[in-house]
Amino acid sequence: MTKLKDNYFEIKRAGINSTFQDNGRTNLNHIGIPISGVMDKRNFILANALLKNETNTPVIEFAYQGPLLEFNGDKIYFVITGDVKFEIIKNNNEKIIGSPYNVYAIEDKDQIDIQSTNKSVYGYLSISENIILDEIWDSFSTNTKAKIGSNNGEKLSDNQKIKISHKNRNTALTKLNYIDKKIEYIRVMKATNFDYFSEKAKEVFFKKEFKVTKLSDRMGMRLEGQILENVVSTNIKSEGLVKGVVQVPSDGNPIIMFADHGTIGGYPKIANVISADFDKIAQMTPGTAIKFKEVNLKEAEKLFKLYNLETTNLINQIS
Amino acid sequence: MIKNILNLGDAAVYCDFGKDVNQEININVINYFKNIKDKKIEGITNITPSYNKLIVSFDLEVTSYSKVKKIIENIELDKKFEKENKLIEIPVCCEKDFKLDHDRLEKKLGITYNKILEIFFSKEYFCYMTGFIAGMPFLGDVSEKLRAKRLKTPRVKVPKGSIGLTEQFCNIYTYESPGGWNIIGNTPLEIFNKENLSEPALINPGDKVKFSRITQEEYDKIKR
């Protein structure tokens, strides 16, 4: 019997912010370790569902420009999710324009060139094999700030190799027709320091537009456009933070906490993005206008159920 | 005791223990934290204690605000966890390269650096919380004679191991990070060690810390 070749990707170009992610690690906030994990959960779930992978299989998450990977080994399957422009460059130099949510097979020396995300930030690459990664605290997620997790807590870098398992799983070339709807509002709930803000600031928060700034990453998103005047105190005694909380520091510009956020902070909390809208807000690019709409707890819980139902429906539509 | 329970977004319970920052309130927060953690309640994804708040995050797919709130309201507190707290000795070197805010502190506090260090090293500190960055302990209470505000413009890089002061607290930078605290010295110890999977943070909420002054020579020896 001939020896099987090693399966691996060679990273020809790492992209801007390419990391390994899964659902993240829980119950470590009390020692300063955030939850991390994917920024767009639905696209992560779909990426694994399209390949019939187990639900929490780690994937490569990329932002804006993704990696260019050369595959070495025996045939595997991959899928890309998100609003992503990519090409498959076959080993005979033939180029195939890729479509997200479509499973493709690749063979030895084929390349996947993930060129860019269209009017969105994050995309996902999942494969039919397991990427060989280090698990720490029940997660493969990379947290580049704390240097924890897969790939020694670092982003992907040029010329590195990623080892892949060798199960030779047969996978159907499944696909899904999915275009993410844009929404007009990001829905939020009032948070614990809402009354720290002036009447005018409260009104502005729900009526005027904010803009996403370039100072946005996996830790958080800074907004600008309206200054929110604080009439009580611009500092609170440091306390825990959660994903989606909107803090307002003394300059009056809101910051929304994302997956890799610091676990505690001392700025007043004006609002909280509802769980159903986490994926949407994470995908907003710098320059995008944001308007907030208030919902109550009951509505937020209902909207989350609806969000989950939509995801389930999409999984059922995979053919 | 908990004064008020609110929701923070749709997937977290916000337990408010009041406005004051003192050890009595914080011990209460930590006691709740340890008891809730011990119960291993289904769906809970994080329990984050701070000076006078406790935030319990959960997976909205598994449970809900009303369910988790009810559990917290009815929890029976077992005091046994108080015994878990440790006293940890942290060696600190306050030589030239490490005392970044020597001049600023002397000027602000109006006492000599030797006096500052004498006061600083004379007492034990209590760990109110650990976090912001991995393993960073927030310790108190610093003597009233040593209370200084944070820097107006934070440093872009505070060296790993730096011991910082701000108002009634001191902290330890577990790795290089931006920060605005007044730096008086540096410890050669690994305060956060991810290789130690079960106990990565050396100092946990509720622990006590005694700083001991070491020379540059001793510092280098430990560092090696």
Q: Is residue A112 within 8 Å of residue A88, measured between CB atoms?
A: yes
What's the pLDDT tens digit per position in A54-96?
Answer: 999 999 999 999 999 999 999 999 999 999 999 999 999 999 9
Could you report the predicted ipTM of this complex, rounded to two decimals?
Answer: 0.95
Residues of A with CB under 8 A from a CB of B: 26-33, 35, 136-137, 145-148, 189, 191-192, 237-242, 244-245, 262-265, 269, 272-275, 297, 300-301, 304, 308
| B204 touching chain A per CB within 8 A | yes
Q: Is residue A195 within 8 Å of residue A232, measured between CB atoms?
A: yes
Predicted confidence at residue B150, as pLDDT, reads 87
b/e A219-229 (16+ beta carbons within 10 angstroms → b): bbbbbeebebb
In this complex, do A269 and B57 lie within 8 Å of one another by their Cβ atoms?
A: no
Cα separations (Å) of B138 from A191, B168, B214? 25, 10, 22
Listed in sequence order, the residues at least 6 apart from B134 whose beta carbon sits closer than 8 Å to its beta carbon are A31, A32, A33, A146, A148, B174, B175, B192, B194, B200, B201
Q: Is residue B44 within 8 Å of residue B1, measured between CB atoms?
A: no
Record the tokens describing residue A67, joined without a space.
């990696």
Q: Is residue A76 within 8 Å of residue A106, measured between CB atoms?
A: yes
Q: Is residue A104 within 8 Å of residue A88, measured between CB atoms?
A: yes
Pairing of strands A292-294, A186-190: parallel
What gap in Å lies between CA A193 and CA A208, rounded to an integer?
A: 20
pLDDT band at A235 (very low <50, low <70, confident <90, very high): confident
Phi-psi region of A93 (alpha: psi -120 to 50; beta: other; left: phi over 0): left
What's the pLDDT tens digit per position in B62-121?
Answer: 999 999 999 999 999 987 887 788 999 999 999 989 999 999 999 999 999 999 999 999
Q: What is the pTM of this model?
A: 0.94
Listed in sequence order, the residues at least 6 apart from A56 whose beta carbon sits closer than 8 Å to its beta carbon are A22, A23, A48
Cα separations (Å) of A49 from A62, A77, A78, A140, A316? 19, 13, 12, 18, 9
